Amino acid sequence: MSKTSVIPAFSHSADDWHSINWELMNQRVKGLQVRIAKATLKSNWRQVKQLQRMLTHSFAAKVLAIRRVTENRGKSTTGVDGEIWNTPALKWDAINTLKRKGYKPKPLKRVYIPKANGKLRPLGIPTMRDRAMQALYLLALEPVSESTADRNSYGFRPHRSCADAIEQCFVNLSRKSSAQWVLEGDIKGCFDHISHNWLIDNIPMDKSILRKWLKAGFMESGKLSPTDAGTPQGGIISPVLANMALDGLETVLESRFGKKNTKASYKTKVNYVRYADDFIITGISKELLETEVLPLVKAFMAERGLQLSEEKTLITNIEKGFDFLGQNVRKYDGKMLIKPSNKNVKTFLQSIREYLNSHKTVPARAVIAKLNPMIRGWCNYHRWICASETFKYIDYRIWKMLWQWCKRIHLNRRKRWIKEKYFKTVGDRNWVFSAPKPNGEGGHYRLLSAARVKVDKHVKIRALANCYLPEDEQYFERLKVQRLKKSLAGNMKLWKIAIRQDYKCAICNQSFHWEDNWDVHHIIRRVDGGSDNSSNLMMLHINCHRQIHGIT
What's the confidence (pLDDT) of residue 487?
A: 72
Question: Residue 11 pLDDT more than 70?
Answer: no
Point out the least confidently predicted range of 158-162, 379-383, 480-484.
480-484
**Residue 470 gets which letter from DSSP?**
G
Question: Residue 233's pLDDT band (boundaries 50, 70, 90)?
Answer: confident
Say if residues 538 and 509 touch (Cβ distance below 8 Å).
no
Cα 374 from Cα 77, distance rounded (Å)? 23
Q: Which residues of 350-382 are buried (b: 16+ CB within 10 A; e: fewer)?
A: eebeebbeeeeeeebeebbeebeeebeebbebb
Question: Of 115-124, 246-255, 450-459, which has the strongest mean pLDDT?
Answer: 246-255
What are the beta bridge partners of residue 184? 280, 314
Share of the chain above pLDDT 70, in %: 93
What are the beta bridge partners of residue 51? none
Cα 543 from Cα 552, distance rounded (Å)? 8
Cα 249 from Cα 257, distance rounded (Å)? 12
What are the beta bridge partners of residue 225? 218
**Residue 178 gets which letter from DSSP?**
S
Cα–Cα nearest to 486, from 384, 338, 394: 384
Average pLDDT over residues 216-227: 89
Amino acid at 299: A
Question: Residue 262's pLDDT band (boundaries 50, 70, 90)?
Answer: confident
Q: Which one is predicted more confidently, 543 or 55?
A: 55
What's the confidence (pLDDT) of residue 43?
A: 96
Provide CB contacts within 8 A for 58, sequence distance 6+: 28, 29, 32
Question: Residue 244 pLDDT more than 70?
Answer: yes
DSSP string, 279-329: EEEEES-HHHIIIIIHHHHHHHHHHTT--B-TTT-EEEETTT-EEETTEEE
Question: Residue 2 pLDDT more than 80?
Answer: no
Question: Residue 494 pLDDT more than 80?
Answer: no
Cα–Cα nearest to 275, from 149, 386, 442: 149
Tens digit of pLDDT for each residue in 272-286? 999 999 999 999 999
Question: Residue 139's pLDDT band (boundaries 50, 70, 90)?
Answer: very high
Tens digit of pLDDT for each residue in 457-479? 898 999 999 999 999 999 998 88
Say if residues 300 and 252 touch (Cβ distance below 8 Å).
yes
Neighbours of 397 (CB within 10 A): 17
Residue 398 burial (10 A CB sphere; 0-12, 13-18, 19+): buried
In three state form, how does the secondary structure of 526-542 look? HHHCCCCCHHHEEEEEH
Tens digit of pLDDT for each residue in 348-361? 999 999 999 999 99
What are the beta bridge partners of residue 424? 432
Point out the least confidently predicted range of 189-198, 255-264, 506-515.
506-515
DSSP string, 179-246: --EEEEEEBTTHHHH--HHHHHHHS-S-HHHHHHHHT--EEETTEEE---S---BTBTTHHHHHHHHH
What's the confidence (pLDDT) of residue 441?
A: 63
Provide CB contacts within 8 A for 449, sequence distance 6+: 395, 429, 432
Grouping H, G, I as helix, E, B as strand and the rest as coil, residue 383 is coil
Cα 460 from Cα 286, distance rounded (Å)? 28
Our measurement of the distance from residue 150's CA atom to the centroid of its chain's CA atoms, rounded to an integer in Å, reads 18
Cα 499 from Cα 210, distance rounded (Å)? 43
What's the confidence (pLDDT) of residue 113?
A: 82
Q: Which residues of 513-537 are buried (b: 16+ CB within 10 A; e: fewer)?
A: bbeeebeebebeeeeeeeeeebebb
Cα 165 from Cα 183, distance rounded (Å)? 15
Helix, strand, coil content of the chain in percent (nearest 5): 50, 15, 35
Cα 539 from Cα 542, distance rounded (Å)? 9
Q: Can you give the C-alpha Rg of the chain in angstroms? A: 26
What's the confidence (pLDDT) of residue 13?
A: 66
User: How confident is the prediction for the chain on average, in pLDDT?
Assistant: 89
For 456-541, where are the alpha helices, taking DSSP H only? 473-487, 492-500
Say if residues 79 and 109 touch (Cβ distance below 8 Å).
yes
Question: Residue 116 pLDDT more than 80?
Answer: no
Pairing type for strands 335-340 and 223-225 reads unpaired
Grouping H, G, I as helix, E, B as strand and the rest as coil, residue 491 is coil
- Residue 454 falls in which region: left (phi positive, over 0), alpha (psi -120 to 50) or beta: beta
Cα 249 from Cα 231, distance rounded (Å)? 20
Question: Residue 493's pLDDT band (boundaries 50, 70, 90)?
Answer: confident
